[in-house]
Amino acid sequence: MAQQKLRLGIIGANVGYGWTPRAHIPALKHLPEFELAAVCTAHEETARESAEKFGVPLAYHNHHDMLSNANLDVVAVVVRVPIHHQLTMDVLETGKHVYTEWPLGANLAEGREMADLAKSKGVQTMVGLQSRTSPAFLTMKEMIADGYVGEVLSCHLDQTGAGVLSRPSGRTWQRDVTLGANTLTISFGHAIDALCMCLGEFSEVASVVSTRVPQWHETDTDRMVDVTSPDNILISGTLASGAVVSAHASSVPWHGSGYRFEVYGREGTLVLTSGGSPSTGGSRLLAGKGSDSGLEEIPSMPHHTWVPDSVQQGPAFNIAQLWGQFAQAINSGERAEPDFDTAVTRHELLDAIQRASDTGQRQSL
- Domain layout of the chain by residue ranges: 6-128+321-338, 131-300+345-364
Question: 211-239 burial, b for 16+ CB within 10 Å, e for fewer?
Answer: bebeebebeeeeeeeebebbbbbbbbbbb
DSSP states along 204-248 = EEEEEEE-S--EEEETTTTEEEE--S-SEEEEEEEETTS-EEEEE
What pLDDT does 2 receive?
A: 54
Q: How far apart are CA 236 and CA 278, in angstroms?
A: 21
Q: Is the pLDDT of residue 50 over 50?
A: yes
| Interval 275-290 mean pLDDT | 89
Q: Which residue has the higher pLDDT, 312 or 141?
A: 141
pLDDT tens-digit map of 263-281: 999 999 999 999 888 888 7
Q: Express the helix, strand and coil content of the chain in percent, nearest 5 each.
A: 40, 30, 35
Distance CA 100, CA 90 (A): 12
Reported confidence tier of residue 262, pLDDT bands at 50, 70, 90: very high
Query: Can you name the CATH fold of 131-300+345-364?
Result: Dihydrodipicolinate Reductase; domain 2 (3.30.360)
> How far, CA to CA in Å, does 206 sit from each of 138, 194, 263, 288, 365?
27, 19, 20, 30, 11
Average pLDDT over residues 221-249: 98
- pLDDT confidence bin for 57, thresholds 50/70/90: very high
**What is the model's pLDDT at position 1?**
47
Pick the CATH number of 6-128+321-338 from 1.10.3730.10, 3.30.530.20, 3.60.21.10, 3.40.50.720: 3.40.50.720
Q: Which tens digits make up the pLDDT trace of 27-37? A: 999 999 999 99
Question: Residues 76-85: what's their mean pLDDT?
Answer: 97
Mean local confidence (pLDDT), 11-17: 91
CB-facing half-sphere around the CA of 182: CA atoms within 13 A? 24
Distance (Å, whole) CA 22 – CA 319:
10
Percent of the chain with pLDDT over 70: 99
**φ, ψ at 132 (rounded to 5°):** -70, -15
Average pLDDT, the chain: 96
Separation between Cα atoms, residue 275 and residue 257, nearest integer Å: 7
Treating both helix axes as pointing N-terminal to C-terminal, what angle do 188-199 and 340-359 enclose, rounded to 10 degrees? 110
Q: Mean pLDDT, to the nearest integer, of 236-246?
A: 98
Distances, alpha carbon 301 to alpha carbons 137, 143, 296, 305, 340, in Å:
10, 10, 15, 8, 27
